[in-house]
Amino acid sequence: QVQLVESGGGVVQPGGSLRLSCAASGFTFSTYGMHWVRQPPGKGLEWVAFIRYDGSNTYSADSVKGRLTISRDNSRNTLYLQMNSLKTEDTALYYCARGAHGQLWSLFQHWGQGTLVTVSS
């Protein structure tokens, strides 16, 4: 079955950096686009970024452009989120999620359990 396991979260000071990972299994990772979605404590879901199945194109939310960068390594079945210049408002549970094929790329077919990032001094 599809499994997505996030790791790399923790406590970091404002202005700091962190790299999140998402290990995928149970499906052919190299054929699916992937997303990062975040959820601040007690609040709603916010889409962060998407990467095409082959890494050839990425999209990201305006709120994270230039600071949070999505990437993938298909040889390791792993998705990444490099987080730089972190702000307190980046505090959230970060989920990785698998997209669907073709025109359904923007839906979230399967989700991990999330990794918590806390930005605080």
**Chosen residue from 74, 91, 109, 118 binding another protein by CB under 8 A:** 109
Which CB atom, from 16 or from 59, has the smaller least distance to another protein? 59
Identify the residue among 5, 108, 116, 118 touching another protein (CB under 8 A): 108
CA distance 14 to 3: 31
When asked if residue 27 is in the footprint of another protein (CB under 8 A), the reply is no
5 binds another protein (CB under 8 A): no
What is the pattern of x (binds another protein, CB under 8 A) and - over residues 77-96? ------------------x-
To another protein, the closest distance from the beta carbon of 24 in angstroms equals 15
Distance (Å) of CA 109 to CA 3, 20, 49, 68: 12, 20, 15, 22
How far apart CA 35 and CA 49 sit, in angstroms, is 6
List the one residue from 16, 21, 27, 59 that touches another protein (CB under 8 A).
Answer: 59
Concatenated DSSP letters of 26-87 = SS-GGGS-EEEEEE-TTS--EEEEEE-TTSS-EEE-TTTTTTEEEEEETTTTEEEEEE-S--
Among 71, 100, 116, 118, binds another protein (CB under 8 A): 100
**CA–CA gap between residue 85 and residue 63 (Å, rounded):** 12
Chain residues in the site for another protein (CB under 8 A): 35, 37, 44-47, 50, 59, 61-62, 95, 100, 104, 106-114
